[in-house]
């Protein structure tokens, strides 16, 4: 750790990490970094009362969620958290966990994980010094605005959390960052892993030429143009966009079906293309865009998405890879990943644990995280090293 500002500030309170069921593996990796940094850190005031519990073997506080036969649950914290600066990590997309209800086995849904998060907050409220929530995939973030007579679930959830005493909410690549307007007087940060995508892609792909003549950034829809424009400007590339033509006379699976993807931008012929988006759900839109780019004679096609949900499985992705329509898929470890996904030859796992540890360390010391939210300097450093290798 080279950030001297951290050394000069007193922690808000003893650091505590509480992983909600389904987020333990990510929390363990974050914990390893924090333990290592704080043991190596030269801090002349470590023995003072303000730094009580600063250097420990682990910052993880175990939380149990026993259930009754009816399916109802509660949260039990295994140790005292009085005066702690708590960081609660929750993965609302982890569908691998199950519980028994009246003899039936249920898979945990985002609603179940959100209820467990509230149970942790309820168990800690009134005892912890401060409560921070790290929710990589923002709960109900796809229901972020109202169209007609329907609920606004994400805004309601954010209001509920701050009313329960949450001070800061950290999320990644929110579907629409404007949702923070629901809680304008509270801490809310949405982080984009642009630097990590570039870093991991360049580790695996050693023969890329990164300039506007050989590479291009593509947004698969109009909603993702901001992240595509940002990445293209930082990398010095051109940007293109697809927009979806929908049939508004029909509704299938709750959505108007897509008729075609129309492209706006310069020619992609002979260029490597980087498709950037916040999530892969079923993946149909992403794969349609990849096919359209290949028909326009694009060279290599790389798909980057913060969250890889893969709700319809991986068979279609396998087929596209085998037919040369996609070359790489990059998603983060911020949500649950299956062993099948991790074993795919085209898949690159983007590890975000070190970045989360940096955020936790900065916030615990109550110093600015602006430099972490704007990674331009680090991106340029990686690009320069790659070009000059």
pLDDT over 70 (residue 2): no
Q: What pLDDT is stored for residue 42 in this prediction?
A: 65
The residue among 369, 370, 348 whose CA lies nearest residue 360 is: 369
**Residue 319: band (very low, low, confident or very high) from pLDDT cuts 50, 70, 90:** very high
pLDDT digits (tens, 9 = 90+) for 259-302: 777 888 889 999 999 999 999 999 988 998 999 999 999 999 99
pLDDT digits (tens, 9 = 90+) for 160-215: 999 999 999 999 999 888 899 999 999 999 999 999 999 999 999 999 999 999 99
Rounded average pLDDT over 54-58: 90
Q: What pLDDT is stored for residue 91 in this prediction?
A: 97
What secondary structure, in 3-state letters, does 205-217 show? CCCCCCCCCCEEE
pLDDT over 60 (residue 307): yes
| Residue in the block written with tokens 């500002």 | 5
User: Per DSSP, what are the bridge partners of residue 190?
Assistant: 171
Q: What pLDDT is stored for residue 46 in this prediction?
A: 66
The residue among 162, 191, 139, 164 whose CA lies nearest residue 360 is: 191
- CA–CA separation, 173 vs 166, rounded Å? 20
- CA–CA separation, 197 vs 95, rounded Å? 25
pLDDT digits (tens, 9 = 90+) for 15-38: 999 999 999 999 999 999 999 998
């Amino acid at each position: 750790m080279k950030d001297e500002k951290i050394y000069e500030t007193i922690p808000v309170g003893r650091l505590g990490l509480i992983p909600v069921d389904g987020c333990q593996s990510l929390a363990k990796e974050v914990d390893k970094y924090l333990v290592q940094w704080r043991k190596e850190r030269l801090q002349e005031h470590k023995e003072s009362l303000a730094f009580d519990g600063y250097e420990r073997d682990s910052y993880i506080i175990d939380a149990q969620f026993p259930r009754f036969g009816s399916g109802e649950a509660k949260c039990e914290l295994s140790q005292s958290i009085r005066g702690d600066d708590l960081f609660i990590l929750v993965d609302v997309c982890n569908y691998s966990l199950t519980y028994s209800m009246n003899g039936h086995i249920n898979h945990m849904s985002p609603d179940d994980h959100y209820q467990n998060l509230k149970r942790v907050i309820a168990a800690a409220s009134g005892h912890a010094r401060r409560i921070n929530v790290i929710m990589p995939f923002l709960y109900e973030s796809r229901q972020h605005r109202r169209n007609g007579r329907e609920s606004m679930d994400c805004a309601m959830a954010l209001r509920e959390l701050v009313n329960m005493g949450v001070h800061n909410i950290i999320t990644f690549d929110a579907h629409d960052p404007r949702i923070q307007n629901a809680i304008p007087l509270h801490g809310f940060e949405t982080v984009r892993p642009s630097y990590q995508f570039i870093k991991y892609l360049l580790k695996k792909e050693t023969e890329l030429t990164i300039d506007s003549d050989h590479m291009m950034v593509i947004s698969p829809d109009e909603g993702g143009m901001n992240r595509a424009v940002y990445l293209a400007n930082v990398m010095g590339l051109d940007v293109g966009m697809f927009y979806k033509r929908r049939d508004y006379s029909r509704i299938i699976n709750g959505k108007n079906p897509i008729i075609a993807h129309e492209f706006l931008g310069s020619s992609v012929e002979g260029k490597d293309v980087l498709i950037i988006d916040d999530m892969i759900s079923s993946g149909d839109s992403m794969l349609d865009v990849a096919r359209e780019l290949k028909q326009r004679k694009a060279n290599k096609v790389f798909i980057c998405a913060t969250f890889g949900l893969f709700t319809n499985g991986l068979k279609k992705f396998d087929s596209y890879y085998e037919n040369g329509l996609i070359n790489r898929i990059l998603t983060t470890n911020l949500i649950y990943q299956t062993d099948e996904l991790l074993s795919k030859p085209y898949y690159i796992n983007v590890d975000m644990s070190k970045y989360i540890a940096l955020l936790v360390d900065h916030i615990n010391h109550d110093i600015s995280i602006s430099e972490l939210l704007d990674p331009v300097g680090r991106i340029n450093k990686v690009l320069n090293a790659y070009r000059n290798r």
